[in-house]
Structure 1
């Protein structure tokens, strides 16, 4: 009778290279997200807080951002006070009321805010809101 050698059983082991690949992809993904590689529209502002702030319903809206250094942006695009009303008239859709939301940094002077709001009202826009955040 012939005796066959039994093959020795191999111990289970973890493959390191695929695990390193996955970890590198995760690392790159989280680094890119934390560095804001995909920038948000507009400039960063710190909204003032109000206890009566409420969520807005979806509608035809334009977001106007007032920055600290006299910057003014309409939907993420830099503009001036003089060009504001014609730009909004161009964005206006028939049969819908345009709602303008003013994102103003809390350090912006009230006189500048009033000037922009007065320009909008003179241009025929009456639905103007000031963005705040809940405390």
Structure 2
């Protein structure tokens, strides 16, 4: 029975802390923390298939707007699809309100290279010095 003490040789048996369930709880908490932390580094763009690279490093996304280029060449500002004029207008407004802001280009791996370069060039023309290209790190085999 849980919590009861047994008599061994006339003395009460001491309570023990079982270490295996404690290790299980610690691993569960660690896994939960890792998954939660990984979910914090998501970008605001729409879902696209990112190009894969071997050299890549995580970057903070604070002060960043994500420009997505889909496989069909359409543009999205964060999660909202926009036309070309709206994209250019939002670039100017964002640069005016946040001159040190960053633009993250989130281009589909099958998107036209020309479309991604156009977004990059327009962001630079708007005055942004920090224009980043989002990629997915390829796992070494």
Name the TM-score class by shorter chain: 0.5 to 0.7
CA RMSD of aligned residues (A): 2.3
Structure 2 equivalent of residue 86 of structure 1: 89
1 or 2 for the larger relative contact order (CA 8 Å, sep ≥6)? Answer: 1
Indicate if the aligned counterparts of 1:99 and 1:127 stay in contact, CA closer than 8 A.
yes
2 CA distance for matches of 1:95 and 1:42?
19
Aligned pair 1:48/2:47, yes or no? no
Q: 2:109 aligns with which of 85, 106, 109?
A: 106
Larger proportion of helix: 2
Which blocks of at least 5 consecutive residues in structure 2 are unaligned?
1-43
CA, structure 1 residues 57+67, in 2 after alignment: closer, same or farther (shift >3 Å)? same
User: How far apart are the structure 1 equivalents of 2:45 and 2:97?
Assistant: 26
State how far apart, in whole Å, the 1-side matches of 2:68 and 2:61 are.
19
Q: Does 1:97 align with 2:97?
A: no
| Correspondence for 1:67 | 70
Unaligned runs of 5+ in 1: 1-40
Q: 1:124 aligns with which of 127, 130, 140?
A: 127
Find runs of 4+ consecutive structure 1 residues off by over 6 angstroms: none
TM-score with structure 2 setting the length = 0.59
Conserved? CA contact 1:65–1:103, under 8 Å: yes
For the residues of structure 1 that align with 2:63 and 2:46, how far apart are their CA atoms? Answer: 21
Distance 1:110 1:58 in 2: 24
Determine the C-alpha separation between the residues in 1 that align with 2:98 and 2:45. Answer: 28
Q: CA separation of 1:93/1:58 partners in 2, compared to 1, >3 Å: closer, same or farther?
A: farther
Query: How many residues are treated as equivalent by the alignment?
Result: 96
- Contact persistence 2:69–2:105 (CA under 8 A): yes
In 1, Cα distance between equivalents of 2:134 and 2:64 = 12
